[in-house]
Structure 1
Amino acid sequence: MPPPAAAAAAGKGYGHPLDPITADEISVAAAACKEKATALGLGPLQFNTVTLKEPGKKALIAWQKAGCPEDGAPPREAFCILQTPGTVEAVVLLSEPPIKVTSWTEVAGVQPLATPDDCFDAEDIVKADPEVQRMLKETYGIADLALVACDPWSGELHLAPMGGRLIQTFMYVRSSPDDNHYAHPLDFVPIVDLNKGKVGNAGACRPVLCCAELRRNLCEVPFRTDVKPLNVVQPDGACWTLEGNLVQWQRWNIRLSFNYREGLVLHDVGYQDGGRLRPIIHRMSLVEMAVPYADPNAPYTRKCAFDVGDYGLGNCANSLELGCDCLGNIHYFDAVLNNSKGEPVSLKKAVCMHEEDYGILWKHLEYRNGHAEVRRSRRLVLSFVATVVNYEYAFYHYFYQDGTIGYKIKLTGELSTNLVSPGEDPAAPAWGTLVAPGVNAQFHQHMFSIRIDPAVDDGDGGAGLVVDAVAVPKGPDNPAGNAFTHQRHARLSKLAWRAEAQRECNAAVGRYWKIKNPGSTHPATGKPVAYKLVPTHSPLLLAAPSSSIAKRGVFATKHLWVTPHGDDERYPAGDYPMQHAGGDGLPKWTAQNRSLACADPVIWHSFGATHVPRPEDFPVMPCEVVGFHLKPFGFFDYNPGRDLPPGPNKASTLANGCANGCTNGAA
């Protein structure tokens, strides 16, 4: 994992093969695709995606180990998904003149994700539809379409009795331009065919109106007056250094990229230890999520979004603001995406980087003489926030001074509301919670999948091991009955991965998974160095295995999957989950039943939350948090945070105003 060669891309607009695609590169890639389409006699193109085609893993590692030579860098390429209106995948060579399309492949029977332009188009099409306008006016007396909100949803639309590229829109009305429309659901769900530019069906409707606002100028409750400032002060700045998209912080090395689908991606994560950079992760990102709803009444049987594959987290990312999304000494990373015309779209402040205090890292008081040693922990935080229609998802990567890596997702935003389905008790719906009079918030799940391509101590991920804590039966070897040990299950790397390399969490036995490198051993234990994946208690997908939701969301039926690495095996629900019948991605790969022996394994960890909404989640939801940790296990010789220096926190004060005087060390 050597430093980047700045000269390798001099004058090309990027400094490293993994740097995100630039605005200029998007423009020239789009121009090359338009030229190709003209030569083929195709009409105007709609650009779904223009992004970096990352170098293959083997080529990238070979270039890095060769010292990043200027003349040996992997080719710089753009990957484009085009609609003609069929789906075309194109690869454009960017690093050598002339810039040209090197691959043009039609992909039959798939629908690319719904872009921001698609979502805006869907709302415009619904509002322009005469039947929708008639229903709004005759049923509700609504003539001002500016007060109508049409939430664009993907979902189980392959079940809809109509073909085409489909978006369903859940309907709401506002009482004023700044009103919270989720307080006023309308009971009809038009389905839009984006290719035809028209509404396929509209349905029937029932209205409800209530009052629950979240805009500061409309909030019906007075603001608190007892909240005093809590400022984060870093007079000497933060501890990181930057070289392009390479971050160095407290012995961590992390390379960042950002794309339309995964949002923030981490590459080449390593830790400086004993004078050398020790690799831990080759690549890590969130690669899919499913949000299925529990109401068995139509049309809500179609209500399940695969937000990564159906919309793209990068496409939905926020432009962050200082003092609101992050605090302290901040560095922001911008991103560049594209619109449907193939033009670059700049997203300022897409990723936030800051460091924050995290309490005590370690402490010991020698009670005999009163001498205390204590060190406070801080962590580096890399984050971005995506708004997917009604929900906000805030994604956080944490790096700690003891070599631990944390990952958290904070779920907030607004509940997707509806009316109580016909036949349900209007005072106590069976499939949701009344969050306001007449306003139903349905039960649902949020299921996430993160892909971890490990590189533990420059290995290929090595062996995987399932470890449980188990009690030892009372007997001759355990006469007092107090013994327990850890039970090691079959090594995942030696298994055919269709069956055994799929695992579930078990909080009762403290289950975790070790990622080992047999080629590197710990000097004291003599065992392979490792990192362990420590899951949080988490539900699995509750939809029936035979359901359409489960067929698309197989990844959420197990907490852990291990597969051999493949450059083209990136997304667990497949490359094109939108309107797909299911069976792509992990179920397709596992059906091959290949062995993991001597393979380069990839870890897929599924986790999430089952959300039974509360009235307290309305009109805006307090954060719900899910996630996991990666912790060193025999990777370091000793606690790598033992060398943190003692020092006072000058900002600390006692309640009486006196200086705290904490020295973080000996008195």
Structure 2
Amino acid sequence: MAKFAHPLDPLSFAEIQATAAAVRTAVLEKGLENLRFNTITLKEPAKKELVSYEANEDSVPPRCAFAIIQCWPKLPLVEVIVDLSSSPPSVSSWDEKQDAEPLASPDDCELAEAITKADAEVQALLKERNITQLDLVACDPWSVNDAPSGLGRVIQLFMYVRTHPDDNHYAHPLDFVPVADLNLKKIVRIDKQYEAPPHIPDRNVNYHRNLMEKEWRTDLKPLNIVQPEGPSFTVEGNLIKWQKWHIRVSFNSREGLVLHNVGYEDNGKVRPIVHRASLVEMAVPYADTNPPFHRKCAFDVGDYGLGFCANSLELGCDCVGNIFYFDGLMNDSKGEPWEVKKAVCVHEEDVGLLWKHMEYRNGHSESRRSRRLVLSFTSTVVNYEYNFNWYFQQDGTIEFEIKLTGELSTNLLSPGEDDPEFGTLVAPGVNAQHHQHMFCARLDMAVDDPDGGAALVVSEQDFVPLPLGPKNPHGNGFRAVETDLTSELKAMRCADPFKGRVWKIKNPDSIHPITGKPVAYKLVGTPNPFVFADPQSTIGQRAQFAMKNLWVTPYNDRERYPAGDYTIGSKGNVGLSEWVKQDRPIAGHDPVIWHCFGISHATRVEDFPVMPVEHVGFKLKAANFFDGNPGVDVPPTVNGSSKLFAGPTMNGTSKPGATPAMNGTNGTSCH
């Protein structure tokens, strides 16, 4: 096999092919048929092995691949581990799973649409609605929440029609929902909103550049990002270095972009901050109680895979500036590798002031522009786009931001509705249902701990006002009060903006020289409502992770996904909510942070035909980690490309001609 530079490097083309070959051999030896590959990815080494490797690069862990396969009907799901260091690579573990379904891969989604269009009853229903061109029919593949009993590996298809190939089909929803069985390769159920064919909305509402009905704006002048000396970051394999940040990345079919071994260089030493971080689940429940829409709740990470759904990003459009791209390598249902070119974008961007102060006595001003390193990728999960961004800032802050855009999932009004109770009319006869996007990030922190976070303690910090009295005679007093979260049940916490609540991850083995207290990073979240579905409902049972903003568990290599390893067809009561019932101690037991946050989306006409970006996320900020402002050493510069605008002023007069700003050099202050 080809050499790999680091144990966390994603599988190569050759390694995916070798894994598939080893699996095929094992399948033949077992006399199985109908082999279908679902996932082939790196089996990440155990955390202890990785920590050992970071301390001593001679202790290289075994190189293994992890595959999920199907041999229906005999074996609907098998987890396979392939030892890539053996010659030839061979299967070292074979684990057959019952009552579980793997995610719906891109091949599965294409299969579901093909099954639907080939079905005679579906074709008859289309013909009743005067639709005869199947190439203009769009079948959106959705996992089935609370699937009717007796159904197997099923996908429900929300149906639409286009007036021509580039038309926005979400403006023309149809009134029936087929359910396709991917194993049987047939339609097993069709749910109809109306007995007789209703009127299909026929007004086109488009966003395609070739179909714009509005005139393009003419008052936008170019705004270029110029870096004449190139970017400030370097890339060595999968290791990125920028300013004082060291960040290792990987990419897989389920989580997409994953961060590893994130550290910050301080006084000549790279101090660990994060061992591993990624987005590990989403729940997207819809509000409409009218059948069949009560079945509408996708778990986009577990149901489809963010890596499988990743876009190829376009230079100068999705990312601007001096760009570096990482490609994403996945597999198809035959076990062959395929590549998402330019899946992850790395670039720098200006983000305003880093810090500033003017001494008012003499007018001297010192200010520094702030820039950040951006690592981003975008996934299209059927109708929605999710743009995921990790920001690394010059003051030691890490921020995770999700930008939500794309298309609303639309449907016809239900019988008896003139105005939708659970949504908004975004075009005549077109209902866009209210819904939520609930996210969960898994943060395996390593704050100043070379052992990957084994010693860490998590605490909750609230601001608490002092009661009026001898210690607070003027009524102005308040304190920041910390409470250590010592066990799993105690660490099930909710955000509280009225108390300025944050959570701190601190290292009692690393004491700050000034404060005399453990160094820490704090998690600053965005308060949001939890899942509105009843806790006893199927959605409530499956999305229990979204009922709290914070969970903490002791590290376990097997505990990776908060809604369970397999979400397609699941009934809930698995994953994070079950693990914490053990109430294991977490302080000093390598705690893992599970941070849940989200958006409740009351749909708007302004979200159609394509939705302006919504923002949500969180920050990890140094909290008495450094010996002062870590951005104080950013050199002073003046942007030499900035110019004075020569247009009219507020009083209607014009300024003199545009004048270039002074060219700045290091040592020149803005003042």
TM-score class, shorter-chain normalisation, is: over 0.9
Aligned to 1:466: 460
Q: Does 1:353 align with 2:346?
A: yes
Classify the secondary structure of the residue corresponding to 2:27: helix
Partner of residue 575 from structure 1, selected from 561, 565, 586: 565
- How far off is 1:595 after superposition? 1.9
> Which deviations, in whole Å up to 9, do the C-alpha atoms of 1:513-570 show, x marking residues without a partner?
0000000011110000000000112221111100100111111000000001011100
Verify the 8 A CA contact 1:290 1:305 in the aligned structure 2.
yes
Partner of residue 137 from structure 1, selected from 127, 131, 136: 127
Q: Does 1:232 align with 2:225?
A: yes
Q: Does 1:63 align with 2:53?
A: yes
Q: For 2:311 and 2:575, how far apart are their aligned partners in 1?
A: 28
The CA RMSD over aligned residues, in Å, is 1.2
Partner of residue 665 from structure 1, selected from 655, 658, 669: 669
Q: For 2:398 and 2:43, how far apart are their aligned partners in 1?
A: 27
> Which deviations, in whole Å up to 9, do the C-alpha atoms of 1:370-400 show, x marking residues without a partner?
1111111000000000000000000000000
Aligned to 2:655: none
Aligned to 2:157: 169
Q: For 1:468 and 1:461, how far apart are their aligned partners in 2?
A: 23
Per the alignment, do residues 502 and 237 of structure 1 end up closer, same or farther by CA in structure 2, a change over 3 Å counting?
Answer: same
Q: Does 1:539 align with 2:526?
A: no
Aligned to 1:82: 69
Aligned length: 646
Q: For 1:437 and 1:447, how far apart are their aligned partners in 2?
A: 29
Aligned to 2:630: 640
Classify the secondary structure of the residue corresponding to 1:118: helix
Partner of residue 289 from structure 1, selected from 264, 277, 282: 282
Partner of residue 146 from structure 1, selected from 111, 118, 135: 135
Aligned to 2:447: 456
- How far off is 1:647 after superposition? 1.3
Partner of residue 174 from structure 2, selected from 166, 172, 186: 186
- How far off is 1:666 after superposition? 5.9
Q: Does 1:502 align with 2:503?
A: no
Q: For 2:144 and 2:305, how far apart are their aligned partners in 1?
A: 14
Aligned to 1:444: 435
Q: For 2:109 and 2:80, how far apart are their aligned partners in 1?
A: 24
Verify the 8 A CA contact 2:358 2:366 in the aligned structure 1.
yes
Q: Does 1:198 align with 2:192?
A: no
Q: For 1:250 and 1:597, how far apart are their aligned partners in 2?
A: 32
> Which deviations, in whole Å up to 9, do the C-alpha atoms of 1:580-631 show, x marking residues without a partner?
0101110221122222243110000000000000000000000000001000
Partner of residue 545 from structure 2, selected from 555, 567, 577: 555
Classify the secondary structure of the residue corresponding to 1:631: strand
Percent sequence identity is 58
Residue identity in the other structure for 2:420: P
Per the alignment, do residues 361 and 461 of structure 1 end up closer, same or farther by CA in structure 2, a change over 3 Å counting?
Answer: farther
Verify the 8 A CA contact 1:44 1:84 in the aligned structure 2.
yes
Partner of residue 502 from structure 2, selected from 506, 512, 522: 512
Classify the secondary structure of the residue corresponding to 1:538: coil
Verify the 8 A CA contact 1:13 1:22 in the aligned structure 2.
no
> Which deviations, in whole Å up to 9, do the C-alpha atoms of 1:401-431 show, x marking residues without a partner?
110000000000000000112233x1x2110
Residue identity in the other structure for 1:96: S
Q: Does 1:309 align with 2:302?
A: yes
Classify the secondary structure of the residue corresponding to 2:210: coil
Between stretches 291-300 and 12-21, larger displacement belongs to 12-21
Aligned to 1:159: 147
Q: For 1:239 and 1:527, how far apart are their aligned partners in 2?
A: 34
Partner of residue 379 from structure 2, selected from 380, 386, 411: 386
Q: For 2:235 and 2:201, how far apart are their aligned partners in 1?
A: 53
TM (normalized to structure 1)? 0.95
Residue identity in the other structure for 1:266: L
Q: For 2:28 and 2:339, how far apart are their aligned partners in 1?
A: 27
Verify the 8 A CA contact 1:212 1:220 in the aligned structure 2.
no
Residue identity in the other structure for 2:369: R
Classify the secondary structure of the residue corresponding to 1:503: coil
> Which deviations, in whole Å up to 9, do the C-alpha atoms of 1:269-324 show, x marking residues without a partner?
00000010100000000000000000011101100000000000000000001011
Between stretches 472-481 and 602-611, larger displacement belongs to 472-481
Residue identity in the other structure for 1:153: W
Residue identity in the other structure for 2:303: D
Q: For 1:334 and 1:159, how far apart are their aligned partners in 2?
A: 36
Q: For 2:525 and 2:10, how far apart are their aligned partners in 1?
A: 30
- How far off is 1:341 after superposition? 0.1
Aligned to 1:651: 641
Verify the 8 A CA contact 1:461 1:515 in the aligned structure 2.
no
Q: For 1:461 and 1:514, how far apart are their aligned partners in 2?
A: 14
Aligned to 1:429: 420
Classify the secondary structure of the residue corresponding to 1:203: strand
> Which deviations, in whole Å up to 9, do the C-alpha atoms of 1:43-67 show, x marking residues without a partner?
131000000000000011012112x
Verify the 8 A CA contact 2:2 2:14 in the aligned structure 1.
no
> Which deviations, in whole Å up to 9, do the C-alpha atoms of 1:478-514 show, x marking residues without a partner?
111111111222x11x22x1x2111000111110000
Partner of residue 360 from structure 2, selected from 359, 363, 367: 367
Aligned to 1:321: 314
- How far off is 1:461 after superposition? 5.7
Aligned to 2:653: none
> Which deviations, in whole Å up to 9, do the C-alpha atoms of 1:199-246 show, x marking residues without a partner?
011233532222210111111211111111100000000111111000
Verify the 8 A CA contact 1:448 1:608 in the aligned structure 2.
yes
Classify the secondary structure of the residue corresponding to 1:406: strand
Residue identity in the other structure for 1:465: S
> Which deviations, in whole Å up to 9, do the C-alpha atoms of 1:60-102 show, x marking residues without a partner?
1012112x11xx3000000000001210000000123231000
Q: For 2:458 and 2:587, how far apart are their aligned partners in 1?
A: 11
Aligned to 1:244: 237
Verify the 8 A CA contact 1:271 1:403 in the aligned structure 2.
yes
Q: Does 1:476 align with 2:470?
A: yes
Partner of residue 481 from structure 2, selected from 474, 487, 491: 487
Partner of residue 406 from structure 1, selected from 388, 399, 408: 399
Residue identity in the other structure for 1:439: V
Q: Where do 5+ consecutive residues of structure 2 fail to align?
A: 647-657
Q: For 1:366 and 1:597, how far apart are their aligned partners in 2?
A: 45
Residue identity in the other structure for 1:60: L
> Which deviations, in whole Å up to 9, do the C-alpha atoms of 1:166-219 show, x marking residues without a partner?
000000000111100000000111000000000011233532222210111111
Q: For 2:237 and 2:101, how far apart are their aligned partners in 1?
A: 35
Aligned to 1:260: 253
Partner of residue 611 from structure 2, selected from 621, 627, 630: 621
Per the alignment, do residues 461 and 508 of structure 1 end up closer, same or farther by CA in structure 2, a change over 3 Å counting?
Answer: farther
Aligned to 2:649: none
Verify the 8 A CA contact 2:455 2:509 in the aligned structure 1.
no
Partner of residue 216 from structure 1, selected from 183, 188, 209: 209
Aligned to 1:338: 331
Q: Where do 5+ consecutive residues of structure 1 fail to align?
A: 1-10
Q: Does 1:565 align with 2:558?
A: no
Partner of residue 593 from structure 2, selected from 603, 621, 628: 603
